[in-house]
Amino acid sequence: MTLLRGLLSMQEATHLNPVQLPEDIVVGIFHELLIGNDAKTLSSCALVCRSWSRIAQDALFSGFDIILEPAYVPVYKFLKILPVPRRTRTIDNFIDFVNDNPRLADMAKNLRYRVPVGTTFFEVDTCVDPIFRVLRHLHKLRSLSIDAEHFCGIGPDATLSRSDTVTRLDLRDVGFPHVGKMMELISCVPMLEDLTLIGYGANAVFEEDIDIPSLDTVQPPLRRLVVHMGYTVIASLINGSWLHINGLHHLDIHFVDGLSEDEDGIHSLIELIDSNASTLQSLCLLDGLPRDFFMSRIPTIRLHSLEVYPFRGAVLELLTVLHDAFDGIINNTLERITIIIDGDYLLHELGEHSAAWERLQTLLCSLPKLRMLNILLMTTPYESTITDLSSSYVTVADLEVHPAFSELRERSRITVGRKVYP
């Protein structure tokens, strides 16, 4: 906001013609417009926009990002005598901004609502419903992102407006009352190309008894799909009965509540991969799918990038399966492999099975176009399926000093690090 105030003062002092403004100043003003709870700050933003409204006529100006970020007063749980706000004014301020500045708000290309880390301690119950009611007023909006916590959600009676311009939807830790509401939201963005749905705990795992409304079949031009949710959610999205998905370039699926070999989720996932095999270039599977899946499906896809997590942590088994799957394939296109491993399992593999490193070397030799191999130690909130790195005895430094790792790094581009996802 210091930059905005400074630019406002400069504008009042110099009375520059917006057409004469340097390109970096245009970017400096409109690249990110932060709207918070401070009414004075919000008024300053609107004043700058009104004063510089002619910038919109400049050929260099193409739009700006709006970031909604609530600010909370530190109220600790033990201070029960103090009133704790049940809702912030952030979204209401944004709605007021849209109403007061319709021409400028309509220029927004990206809208992002984010909740700072740690605000869950203040027990604030934020509802994001109003955001979706104003989408119809943002005729140039391309991307909507909501990155929140467990208290941020969409109510069962929320009014969702249709947007024919949004191509990217990124929802993280956003609570839905049921799968049906999630489906309704996706159906409101028919031009969707990039969809990310990530949730943990109650936001990821829905009850089996779900409310699915009667919706017309939709087939958005999805090119990138990332879903880290519970089995019920993923199965409802990828079973093909409501959402038709064809033409994917990137697929990233993770069942956060676990996936066993005998569940129907594997069947739905295989069907999804089969229907997009001709276009898939990047595949990320964090559920350790069984051997026959890799042997029968992966070799038929001209992948450039593959990211996998060993089934039940068996690193040696995974390396063997990958080698057998890709061995002998003519015109192999794989350029990048990322193997995500659990520290405790890695300790077992290094201590009991030195053959894991030999198998890794053999795998590298079978992939002539491979440019990068990443070995990452998992560190994520996936408590149900993957051990947190903090509870592991193996660290990145331990892996780097392993003699076999040093030898492999000399022969190929191999890196090691921590997996922070996404």
Name the range with the highest mean pLDDT among 46-55, 203-212, 226-235: 226-235
Judged against a pLDDT cut of 70, whether residue 73 lies above it is answered with no
360, 408 Cβ separation under 8 angstroms: yes
Give per-residue pLDDT as tens, 312-357.
556 777 777 888 888 777 677 888 888 777 655 555 565 555 676 6
For position 256, what pLDDT does the model report?
Answer: 80
Please give the average per-residue pLDDT across 84-98, as a whole number. 60
Q: How far apart are CA 141 and CA 23, in angstroms?
A: 22
For position 222, what pLDDT does the model report?
Answer: 94
Phi, psi for residue 366 in degrees, rounded to 5? -85, 0
Give per-residue pLDDT as tens, 229-288.
888 788 888 877 778 899 999 999 888 877 655 566 778 888 888 889 899 999 888 766
Domain map (residue ranges) of the chain: 1-192, 193-208+217-279, 281-288+302-422
Q: Percent of the chain, pLDDT > 70?
A: 49
Query: How confident is residue 204, by pLDDT bands cut at 50, 70 and 90?
Result: confident
Q: What is the CA radius of gyration of the chain?
A: 25
41-50, 72-81, 113-122, 243-252: segment of lowest average pLDDT: 72-81
Judged against a pLDDT cut of 60, whether residue 415 lies above it is answered with no
Q: How far apart are CA 170 and CA 253, in angstroms?
A: 15
Q: How far apart are CA 280 and CA 218, in angstroms?
A: 20
pTM of the model: 0.73
Please give the average per-residue pLDDT across 150-166, as a whole number. 79
Q: Percent of the chain, pLDDT > 90?
A: 8
| Average pLDDT of the chain, as a whole number | 66
| Higher per-residue confidence, 253 vs 379 | 253
Name the range with the highest mean pLDDT among 72-81, 287-296, 347-356: 287-296
Judged against a pLDDT cut of 60, whether residue 411 lies above it is answered with no
| Higher per-residue confidence, 63 vs 315 | 315
For position 69, what pLDDT does the model report?
Answer: 55
73-87, 172-186, 258-272: segment of lowest average pLDDT: 73-87
Give per-residue pLDDT as tens, 5-52.
444 443 333 333 434 433 333 333 333 444 444 444 444 444 444 444
